């Protein structure tokens, strides 16, 4: 098959297994009306789903995988038009031609869906029990008491502890993982034949992610459901799906049985995707390097109010609990932990973007923890930061040139405008962007391109140290790999030191020399990357490693 051929509409494993066809999507095409014309979000996508199996739709953001799933659920916005040639056949009827009431009877009953964001998919003003009961009542004529009993059983099935008590809880009282379990319970309430899981674990911590996926796997086996799993994470695909559809630009580029696809990818894009798992290791470090950044017993706490007007009461939330850290020149130190572990707070406290309550911070031999913002200013050009979200870290009102030039202006670098612009161009080139984009605005660029611009802003000042606060988390996998390459290259060329904050152990393994594992504001384990990841000493690290590399709880 040549790279440009469209994937065949029929499955490659047709007739090789005895499972019966349950959902047959043919030539699905969806167009969106946008300013200045139409965008073809999905083009001629066909897929088949059999009873009791999991198919995965894989692709990067914008590849049309979610749109395909929403077409099956008929949950598209009004701006979307489904091509009349499209067909999605369930039990002999084309559900794209059903009326809205007929479709409502199907949704949540025969087909259900779980969404990515468990925070916003539950209504905060109803208890969990009320929300599950509502779903049960929509499709069944049963009494309230009976519905409650069933709801409790459902919560038990999704392994929520103390299901009877949890029925009376409100969503905010549950953790993210528990909320996603409740969502699954709601999706399963009416024993659907097909479950569509749209990035069900992307918003969750790695360890929770593994638990949720395993739960889904167990439930699928128990009820013989067919699952459409939408994800960008190839490890998940490999572990949990039977058949894979690879999508790009709204088209299916390749599909095959999971093992076969991973063994011998045919299409160039699939090969590219598979190759973009972060790999390599950091270049070895010269011994006895000079210390750039050092923290001793750094403590950050926030005072929170508790109690009422007449009984004031405060308690201290310790985000960073007397931690030590030292970073050598040319070194990359990974700071790893789940959300809420205090890793970002620690990192920002070290470069004095957050106030410390106690401890010493030394930068290049100079003690900086008592410096005011004004005293810090001469040091700012030597320490830089790259944020996680490249959409929030670039001011939408400023052109690329203004964004990068700002640091040069305030630090009086460059004698005149021409010199400064030359430095801006150089920084862009170093970050792997063309230097012709000076007058463009951030919204014209994709996430990965924006992250490069953010990196260019940091390196334009020629710093010695950069704090990388999850710089790859918001990016697609293949873009992630490129950013890692870029960071590694810049470190070699410019002799930078990095403090790399991440929850993604794969990226950490590819980029860091040493790693520190944080939990609840404390460091639970630290050491060279290979040692910590291959031979974790504490339970927590072991869990993290297993979750990241095997997706096992």
Regarding 46 and contact with another protein (CB under 8 A), the answer is no
Q: Which is nearer to another protein, 61 or 81 (CB)?
A: 61
Q: Which is nearer to another protein, 142 or 353 (CB)?
A: 353
Regarding 268 and contact with another protein (CB under 8 A), the answer is yes
Q: Which is nearer to another protein, 458 or 515 (CB)?
A: 458
User: Do 26 and 9 touch, CB atoms closer than 8 A?
Assistant: yes
* Token reading at 519: 């939990």
Rounded to the nearest whole angstrom, what is the least distance from the CB of residue 66 to another protein in the complex? 13
Q: Which is nearer to another protein, 118 or 442 (CB)?
A: 442
Q: Which is nearer to another protein, 13 or 389 (CB)?
A: 389
Regarding 552 and contact with another protein (CB under 8 A), the answer is no
Q: 71: helix, coil or strand?
A: helix
Q: Which of 190, 257, 446, 473 contacts another protein by CB under 8 A?
A: 446
Residue range at the interface with another protein (CB under 8 A); choices 168-176, 263-271, 307-315, 535-543:
263-271
Q: From residue 451 to residue 490, what is the string marking binding to another protein with x (rule CB under 8 A)?
A: -x-x--x---x--------------x-xx--x--xx--x-
Q: Measured between alpha carbons, how far is residue 166 from residues 182, 186, 188 in Å? A: 10, 14, 17
Residue 44, H or E segment:
strand 37-50
Q: Which is nearer to another protein, 4 or 263 (CB)?
A: 4
* Token reading at 506: 């794969």
Rounded to the nearest whole angstrom, what is the least distance from the CB of residue 463 to another protein in the complex? 10
Q: Which is nearer to another protein, 291 or 399 (CB)?
A: 399
Q: How many Å apart are CA 507 and CA 292, to the nearest integer?
A: 23
Rounded to the nearest whole angstrom, what is the least distance from the CB of residue 181 to another protein in the complex? 32
Residue 373, exposed/middle/buried by CB under 10 A (0-12, 13-18, 19+)? exposed
Phi, then psi, of 480 in degrees rounded to 5 = -55, -50
Task: Determine how β-strand 251-257 pairs with β-strand 243-248.
Answer: antiparallel
Regarding 202 and contact with another protein (CB under 8 A), the answer is no
Q: Which of 244, 350, 394, 517 contacts another protein by CB under 8 A?
A: 394
Q: How many Å apart are CA 465 and CA 279, to the nearest integer?
A: 23
Q: How many Å apart are CA 251 and CA 254, to the nearest integer?
A: 9
Strand ranges across the sheet with 522-528: 383-386, 465-469, 497-502, 332-336, 514-519, 522-528
Q: Which of 18, 37, 288, 308 contacts another protein by CB under 8 A?
A: 37
Regarding 376 and contact with another protein (CB under 8 A), the answer is yes
Regarding 509 and contact with another protein (CB under 8 A), the answer is no
Q: 217: helix, coil or strand?
A: helix
Regarding 1 and contact with another protein (CB under 8 A), the answer is no
- Cβ neighbors of 403 (< 8 A, separation 6 or more) are 394, 395, 442, 453, 457
**Residue whose entry in the numeric block shows the structure tokens 């439930």:** 219
Regarding 384 and contact with another protein (CB under 8 A), the answer is yes
Regarding 199 and contact with another protein (CB under 8 A), the answer is no
Residue range at the interface with another protein (CB under 8 A); choices 199-207, 331-339, 357-365, 382-390:
382-390
Regarding 414 and contact with another protein (CB under 8 A), the answer is no
Regarding 61 and contact with another protein (CB under 8 A), the answer is yes
**Residue whose entry in the numeric block shows the structure tokens 């739709």:** 57
Q: Which is nearer to another protein, 311 or 443 (CB)?
A: 443
Phi, then psi, of 393 in degrees rounded to 5 = -95, -5
Regarding 5 and contact with another protein (CB under 8 A), the answer is no
Own/partner pairs for 429-432, CB < 8 Å, 24+ apart? 430/456, 430/459, 430/490, 430/493, 431/455, 431/456, 431/459, 431/486, 431/490, 432/482, 432/486
Regarding 396 and contact with another protein (CB under 8 A), the answer is yes
Regarding 308 and contact with another protein (CB under 8 A), the answer is no
Query: Contact residues for another protein (CB under 8 A)?
Result: 3, 34-37, 39, 60-62, 249, 268-269, 271-272, 351, 353, 373, 376-378, 380-381, 383-385, 387, 389, 392-399, 402, 406-407, 410-411, 426, 429-430, 432-434, 436-437, 439-441, 443-449, 452, 454, 457, 461, 476, 478-479, 482, 485-486, 489
């Amino acid at each position: 098959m040549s790279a440009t051929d469209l994937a065949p509409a029929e499955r490659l494993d047709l007739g090789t297994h005895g499972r019966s066809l349950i959902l047959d999507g043919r030539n699905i095409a969806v167009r969106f009306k946008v300013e200045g014309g139409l965008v073809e979000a999905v083009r001629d996508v066909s897929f088949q789903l059999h009873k009791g199996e999991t198919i995965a739709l894989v692709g990067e953001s914008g590849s049309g995988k979610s749109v395909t799933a929403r077409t099956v659920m008929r949950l598209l916005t009004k701006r979307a038009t489904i091509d009349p040639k499209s067909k999605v056949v369930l039990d002999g009827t084309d559900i794209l031609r059903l009326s809205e009431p007929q479709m409502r009877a199907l949704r949540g009953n025969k087909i259900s869906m779980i969404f990515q964001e468990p925070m916003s998919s539950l209504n905060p003003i109803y208890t969990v029990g009320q929300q599950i009961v509502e779903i049960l009542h929509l499709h069944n004529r049963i009494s309230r008491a009976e519905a409650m009993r069933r709801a409790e059983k459902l919560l038990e099935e999704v392994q929520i502890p103390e299901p009877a008590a949890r029925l009376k809880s409100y969503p905010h009282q549950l953790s993210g993982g528990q909320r996603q379990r409740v969502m699954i319970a709601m999706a399963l309430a009416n024993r659907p034949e097909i479950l569509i899981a749209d990035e069900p674990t992307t918003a969750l911590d790695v360890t929770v992610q593994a638990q949720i996926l395993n739960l889904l796997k167990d439930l699928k086996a128990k009820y013989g459901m067919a699952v459409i799993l939408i994800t960008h994470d190839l490890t998940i695909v490999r572990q949990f799906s039977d058949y894979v559809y690879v999508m790009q630009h709204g088209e299916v580029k390749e599909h095959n049985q999971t093992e076969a696809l991973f063994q011998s990818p045919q299409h160039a894009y699939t090969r590219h995707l598979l190759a973009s798992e972060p790999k390599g290791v950091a270049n070895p470090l010269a011994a006895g390097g000079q210390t750039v950044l050092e923290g001793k017993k750094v403590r950050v706490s926030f005072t929170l109010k508790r109690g009422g007007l007449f009984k004031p009461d405060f308690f201290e939330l310790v985000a960073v609990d007397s931690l030590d850290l030292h970073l050598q020149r040319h070194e990359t130190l990974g700071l790893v932990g789940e959300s809420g572990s205090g890793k970002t707070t620690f990192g920002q406290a070290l470069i004095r973007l957050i106030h410390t309550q106690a401890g010493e911070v030394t930068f290049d031999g100079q003690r900086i923890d008592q410096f005011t913002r004004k005293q810090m200013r001469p040091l700012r050009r030597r320490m830089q930061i790259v944020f996680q979200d490249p959409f929030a870290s670039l001011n939408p009102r400023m052109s690329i040139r203004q964004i990068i030039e700002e640091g040069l202006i305030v630090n009086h670098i460059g004698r005149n405008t021409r010199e400064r612009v030359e430095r801006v161009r150089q920084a862009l080139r170093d970050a792997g962007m063309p230097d012709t984009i000076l007058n463009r605005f951030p919204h014209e660029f994709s996430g990965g391109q924006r992250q490069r611009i953010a990196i260019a802003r940091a390196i334009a000042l020629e710093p010695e140290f950069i704090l990388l606060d999850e710089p790859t988390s918001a990016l697609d996998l293949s873009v992630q790999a490129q950013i890692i390459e870029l960071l590694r290259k810049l470190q070699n060329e410019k002799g930078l030191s990095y403090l790399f904050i991440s929850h993604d152990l794969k990226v950490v393994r590819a980029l860091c020399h040493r790693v520190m594992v944080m939990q609840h504001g404390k460091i639970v384990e630290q050491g060279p990357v290979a040692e910590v990841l291959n031979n974790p000493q504490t339970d927590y690290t072991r869990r993290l490693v297993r979750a990241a590399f095997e997706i096992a709880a």
